Amino acid sequence: MSTPTGGDAPLPAPRDGLELYDTTLRDGTQREGISLSVEDKLRVARRMDELGMSYIEGGWPGANPKDTEFFARATSGELTLRNAELVAFGMTRGANRPAAEDELLDALVSANTDVVCLVGKSWGYHVDEALGVPRDENLAMVADSISYLAGLGRRVFFDAEHFFDGLARDEAYARDVVRVAAEAGAECVVLCDTNGGAMPWDVAELVAGLVRDLPCDVGVHFHDDGGCAVANSLLGIEAGAVQVQGTANGIGERCGNANIFTILADLQLKGRIPLVGPDQLERLTEVSHHVAELCNQTTPSVAPYVGHTAFSHKAGLHASALAKAPDMYNHIDPAAVGNQQRLVVSELAGRANIVLKAKEFGLEVTDEQARAVLAEVKRRDAIGWAYDAADASFELLLRRVAGLLREEDEPFRSQHYRVNVAGGLAGGDGGEGPAEALIAVNVSGERKLGAGEGNGPVDALDHAFRNAVNGTWPQLDKVHLSDYKVRILEAGAGTDATTRVLVSSTDGSQVWDTVGVHQNVVEASWLALSDAYTHAILRVDWESGR
């Protein structure tokens, strides 16, 4: 394997090239809480194709109407793939049934893809207990299905389900299954760690043995139940596997699948294997976040390469070194995968964090200004404020403390507000009316009043503020709250505890985060909201250099 920083010891060149096989649309959608529409699946397929995947598994035609419709639309011209080949997934024929008369195999044929991936049992225990058929019949089911599809001109991959468990507990039969698949015409036999419990110290030797023994290509498919899916995938490739299967952001059933984004970046940047073009690799972070949104998942935070915090630095020691040489604490250039270095400001920060963070905002601060900002950050951190996840609030704090945003230049100042929320009766029989808010703000010396109703006090405050300023700043028309989080900071203080509110706002093109802290959750929310409005209003001037 390569050195941790991608030095001069690349992975051995894989046999006949290396294929990235994306199974997000089939195996990935088995993650709890994910349900993609046909339109969503088409969008995900296009984005994964942009990255240079070799194969995109679209789903299981015939198993459900959605997947059947996906293949009908995809192969009728609605999905144009520039890099990948579309794969239909299905199961071997049923027991004691001719392959040509099997409905599920017929659905695979009707999907009109050149490549088909068949799954079959390779663990004798599953054959005995789950399928309930003689072991010889399972071997026939594998052989007949592959030879039938190959005879129709399809390229066939065979997913050996539960292979690593089968090999550990019933080695002879597991080897019989993959041998039969290869001899029947499978182009690639994929060794699946379906339960996700394979360990790295076993994988390399086992895969290498199968690469030597089988007359076809070998692929690997790992789940992450033991936390080793990516490591096992890389070891499988080093041992000679030429196809590696995984999913976007590692989504999948239980603990997920091997993360195909991490595998791609590891192989290309560390293993020095040129799988995709540099421009494609630079899309990695963008595609990762887009797919997460389509899957209704939170965007990756700590994921390698693509995570929001993948190149974040909080400690003052790190920031000081980064100011001199960015590669001291970054294992790659973040731009290579479309990400960026982030300096996080907290009580652990040093003066260098402030200086570098200011540069991110296009600002220059003096040592005296940096020290003043740092002192205020540490004072606020001690009472519950946290700026490491609220860049917009920190930029406002920095500008205010450093004297770069004077009080007279603030777009508005809050004077007072009042919120009324109707209470419900026991059992939930009352309190159906909306919350009401009244707010007074000072805009350029003029007192403006606004009232609003909303679904809760925060929504009511938002409507009241907008009614008060009444179109003064047109850019606010596009701004809306996209996320809202409340955290209790003193677990033992009960309802009197200090709360921290984090608000994410967006105008449709950018997202910014603000924070508020107070014992009153409504006041904490208003502090975060007012920072969000202020940032949206002033950013227009900042970006234009005014």
Q: Which of 444, 441, 440 is nearest to 408 (CA)?
A: 444
Query: 417 Cβ partners below 8 Å, 6+ apart?
Result: 437, 438, 439, 440, 461, 464, 526
CATH of span 415-472: 3.30.160
Spatial strand order in the sheet of 435-443: 413-420, 435-443, 446-454
The full set of domain ranges for the chain reads: 19-294, 312-404, 415-472, 478-546
> Would you state the pLDDT for residue 221?
98
CA distances from 502 to 270, 388, 396, 524, 525 (A): 37, 11, 15, 9, 8
End-to-end CA gap in the chain = 52
> Would you state the pLDDT for residue 177?
98
Positive/negative CA dihedral, 279, 46, 303, 381: positive
> Would you state the pLDDT for residue 492?
54
Q: Chain-centre distance of CA 325, in angstroms?
A: 29
> Would you state the pLDDT for residue 494?
57
Query: 319 phi and psi, to 5 degrees?
Result: -60, -40
Q: Which of 443, 445, 342 is nearest to 395 (CA)?
A: 342
SS (H, E, C) 524-535: HHHHHHHHHHHH
> Would you state the pLDDT for residue 516?
94
Task: Say which CATH architecture domain 19-294 belongs to.
Answer: Alpha-Beta Barrel (3.20)
User: d(Cα 511, Cα 457) in Å, to the nearest integer?
Assistant: 23
> Would you state the pLDDT for residue 323?
52
Positive/negative CA dihedral, 466, 468, 469, 471: positive
> Would you state the pLDDT for residue 6?
40
CB 376 within 8 A of CB 347: no
> Would you state the pLDDT for residue 317?
46
User: d(Cα 240, Cα 218) in Å, to the nearest integer?
Assistant: 8
User: d(Cα 422, Cα 433) in Å, to the nearest integer?
Assistant: 7
Q: Which residues of the chain have pLDDT under 70?
A: 1-16, 313-329, 342-350, 424-432, 490-496, 544-546
Strand pairing class (499-506; 480-488): antiparallel
pTM value is 0.71
In this structure, which topology does domain 478-546 adopt according to CATH? Double Stranded RNA Binding Domain (3.30.160)
SS3 state at 478: helix
Per-residue model confidence as pLDDT tens digits over 18-53: 999 999 999 999 999 899 999 999 999 999 999 999
Same fold yes or no, 415-472 and 478-546: yes
Instruction: Count Cβ atoms within 10 A of the Cβ of residue 482 and give its class: 0-12 exposed, 13-18 middle, 19 or more buried.
Output: middle
